[in-house]
Amino acid sequence: MGESDGVGLKTGRERLSHVIQTTPIIDNHAHPLLLRGALPKYPFESIVSEANGDALSSSWSTLSHMRAVRQLASLHGCPPTWEDVVSASESKRVDGTYDAWIGRCLSGLETILVDDGLGDAKDMYSFSDLSSFTRSPCWRIVRIERVVEMAVEQLAAAGTCSFDAVTELFDKVLTKAVHDPRVVGFKSVICYRTGLAVPGTVNRSSARAEFNASIEGYLRDRRTEEDAKPFRLDQVISCHFFVNEAAFLLHDVATSLPPDAARPPKVLQFHTGLGDNDLCLSKASPSHLQEFIREYPTVPIVLLHAGYPFMRESAYLANTYANVWVDVGEVFPCLSRRGQETVFHELLELAPWSKLLASSDGHFFPETYYLGQTQLREVLESVLSQYVQDGDLSWKEAEDLAIGVMYENSNKLYRLGLPERHQSQTDKAEDFLTPLPKPRENRALQILESYLEKDNSIQYLRVYWNDMTGTTRTKAAHIDHVRKCLQTTGEFSFGIAGAAFALMQNDTIAPGGSPVGEYRLHPDYSSMTLGPRRGILTSFGVFREPDRTVSSLCPRAALQEVLGRAKSQGLEFLVGFELELVLMERTDAGIFRNTQSDGHNWSSSRVVDRPIFSVIENAMAYLRSVGIHIEQVHAESAPGQFEIVLPAAAPLEATDRLLYVREVVAQYAAAEGYRMTLHPKPFPLAAGNAAHIHLSITGDDDPALYEAFYAGILTHLRAICAFTYSNPSSYDRVADGCWAGGRYVAWGTQNRETPLRKIEGSHWELKCVDGIANPYLALAAVLRVGLDGVREERALEWGDCPVDPASLTEEERAALGIQEMLPESLTEALEALAEDEVLREGLGSRLVSRYVAVKGQEVNMLDAMGKAEGKQWLLERY
């Protein structure tokens, strides 16, 4: 066929090929990828086979394996042998290249709908992590059986496990997921447990009796066996019950929605057909689901994996029932090319192509995603070209079919709200060949729109940063302007004067700074949250230079860089902050004073019943409304002082959250006539304000590892203080006998008179931190030298100090390796930083030089003011 079709391409076949190769795929069913350190736990051969154990060793002689070897060899540019492919793939799993390799394998995907019920979560990237490798944010599919199993584990640990308790928790979790905008569906693997003959109704009493009997056995084994297996939902009636319970919930939501509802009922996926030997193939035909499908006509149902080898049964159900769709994943790459073509041919015998959905069933290894989408594109082009040549389709109809299967059908079914894609209706080749949108454009706009759906009162986006003085600053833009920028140019940012990281608290410029030049402050959309009050959306920002590279002076970027270094060493962390603050009153003369004490002391019950505590309660209520749940709060020792314990999170998220919570509390304090201050020592004879950092290394409690990490911190602790005790007033807290961490470089188990307190395992607390510090720089400094300790395999030469080090004799301290003291002033700490090459080079000499210049100016300013004026000046600003 030689017609041009009027689009500037020579043939219809070339045009179809171009459409198939350039249309991004919505992967409607896949699983998380393994973190680099977990890759050796799984056999690489499994990328093209559902076999396991001894059967997997024969996979090398399958046509699917041999084809995959050739395709991966072409990708790597290596000889087409399995050994060379394995070696080339392993070479991509090293420091600094693994994420880039993932990005290469996942390129071409618009988004992924991720069933995260497979594998151990601590070994995996989360579904939201995968968003950094796709054009649009990824979405979550909740696995029904996994919810039940997690509910059993949780309730068993609490000693309250029963059918009714599990059902109640199950309903609660699913109801929350139904209303979660990032969840687009649910999935059942009942095919593996009982087969697909799921009735449309289940006797609840029978399910209760069966489930409770299995729970009794599970709890008995749990008590008596050290290696008792986790609970597995595989009881026939119970499996049927919980799948029906989920479907009924989706049906109930669907029937309660108005006809013009913005979002439809969420989708229910079923594993059908092809799988490992844990299923019974004769029970895996989707035809067994017919009664269930009839029972829930309002619930969209997706039959995964084409039901292979029962493709015609899948096609029949999609043709006959309005609520059934068919996914074509896993046959790519597990079948031969001819087998994959047969799957498409048999589905298209009867199924509407508007109900066929693309997926890779990618899992564990990035190569599975690459092979899945590469082979789908190849086979789709081959099959559709044959239909055109047979006269069953025109080239344009083939293009529509391809775009539908790869993108539009999933976009519509799951109501993802992504831009529509269709074959060009013009005769201009340049229109048809419009480049795909940049990855960041769609992701940013999608996140923004999701918040606007939640709250139509939003008027402004605030983007925050924290400068070298620890001052939190922000710029705001009207949300319509932000949206327009994202829609038209693909990005939004603020212009910020080049002096931003040389500004003092009074907006004068420190030595080395200049008003000349400009940065661009870009929102980090992954940090976005509602608030700190109604009508506002908050994001934390990253500074970029005019050439779009991240600025080496940006504190938040400095923390990100250290975290990237940690990940390349196979280390990840959880961080929790303790926020200490004082609520003060302003006198008529404008001077801040303490609130009336009225017996205010540590954890006093009467304090939390005083009117002043309403500031904290109201702030906590607002935080809960935006999804931030405070773990603990109590009165601290000083008048008007409180401590808020923030939940542990990944380091960047925890630091963003700390700054956000401060904004919320300060706002509620001002509304009730108080001033919230973080001043390290607002009252000379009372406890000061700290911002203790709790640190733990996730997934590894090896003493040799965490002791080397904390040895690195102790080795550089004097220099770290330049960032954690960052103001001259900070050193008013450096005293013995005050539970503030004392004056000595030391550590101790549950010892609050040492700056480093061991709590349990790798969970330790750094006490020599206060709220005036820039938390990004403080945490970056701590983690950076800790990583150096791990790299150097540094020994923890300090002994576990059991008492206040100040109470020991010099000889007793020496026996514990306690030889240094914390700096007595910021000037001394800055001198220690200047001498610490590891920390200086680790954070970047440009950043450290600028920081030292700003802090030197700060010392001079406060010295010139005198103690009383300087304190009032700081209270106005922190």
Instruction: Return the higher-pLDDT residue of 56 and 74.
Output: 74
Cα–Cα distance, 878 to 856 (Å, whole number): 19
Q: Which residues contact 513 (CB under 8 A, 6 or more apart)?
A: 498, 499, 501, 502, 503, 850, 853
Q: Compute φ and ψ for 39, nearest 5 degrees.
A: -55, -40
Measured CA to CA in angstroms, residue 852 lies from 721, 726, 728, 842, 872 at distances of 12, 10, 13, 15, 24
Omega within 30 of 0 (cis) for the link into 333? yes
3-state SS class at 460: strand
Q: Where are the alpha helices (DSSP H) in 390-438?
A: 395-403, 409-413, 429-432
pLDDT digits (tens, 9 = 90+) for 573-618: 889 898 888 888 766 655 556 655 566 666 566 666 676 777 888 8
Better-scored residue on pLDDT, 15 or 322: 322
* Mean pLDDT over each residue of the chain, to the nearest integer: 85
CA distance 496 to 521: 7
Q: Which residue type sits at 242?
A: F
> Which pLDDT score is estimated for 429?
29
Q: Where are the beta strands (DSSP E) in 640-739?
A: 641-645, 675-677, 693-697
CA distance 172 to 168: 6
Taking only the tens place, the pLDDT of each residue in 655-667 is 999 999 999 888 8
Residue 395 has pLDDT above 80, yes or no: yes
User: Can you give the pLDDT at residue 310?
Assistant: 96
Percent of the chain scoring above 70 in pLDDT? 91
State residue 588's pLDDT score.
Answer: 63
Q: Is the per-residue pLDDT at 853 higher than 60?
A: yes
Least confident of 76-85, 719-728, 758-767, 868-877: 868-877
Choose the weakest-confidence range: 239-243, 500-504, 773-777: 500-504
Task: Report the pLDDT value the prediction gives residue 259, as an integer from 0 to 100.
Answer: 52
DSSP per-residue string spanning 280-344: -GGG--GGGGHHHHHH-TTS-EEEEGGGTT-HHHHHHHHHH-TTEEEE--BHHHHS-HHHHHHHH
370, 323, 316: which is closest to 346 by C-alpha? 316
Angle at 674 between CA 595 and CA 538, to 5 degrees: 145
Q: Which residue would you say has higher pLDDT here, 311 or 425?
A: 311
**579, β-bridge pairs:** 644
CB 148 within 8 A of CB 167: no
Q: What does the block give as tokens for 113?
A: 């709908």
> Token pair for residue 549?
């590279």
297, two tokens: 């006509």
Angle at 367 between CA 361 and CA 368, to 5 degrees: 15
Which pLDDT tens digit goes with each residue over 318-359?
Answer: 999 999 999 999 899 999 999 999 999 999 999 999 999 999
Count the neighbouring beta carbons within 10 Å of the beta carbon of residue 45.
17
Residue 159 region by backbone torsions, left for phi larger than 0, else alpha for psi between -120 and 50, else beta: left
| pLDDT: which is higher, 275 or 287 | 287
In the chain, where the domains are located: 12-429, 440-551, 565-877
Residue 731 has pLDDT above 60, yes or no: yes
Query: 565-877 domain in CATH 3.30.590.10?
Result: yes
Specify burial of residue 599 (Cβ count, 10 A radius: 0-12, 13-18, 19+). Answer: exposed
Fold of 440-551: Ubiquitin-like (UB roll) (3.10.20)
Least confident of 45-54, 413-422, 429-438, 601-610: 429-438
Neighbouring CB atoms inside 10 A of 14's CB total: 15
- Sequence-separated (6 or more) residues with CB below 8 Å from residue 479: 448, 452, 458, 459, 460, 461, 537
CA 207-213-217 angle, 5° bins: 140
CB 192 within 8 A of CB 275: yes
Q: Which residues of 502-512 are buried (b: 16+ CB within 10 A; e: fewer)?
A: bbbbeeebbee
pLDDT at residue 606, as a whole number:
63
What is the average pLDDT across 636-651?
83
- 388: tokens are 């055109």
Fold assignment, 12-429 = TIM Barrel (3.20.20)
Tell me the pLDDT band of 634, cut-offs 50, 70 and 90.
confident
Q: pTM for this structure? A: 0.53
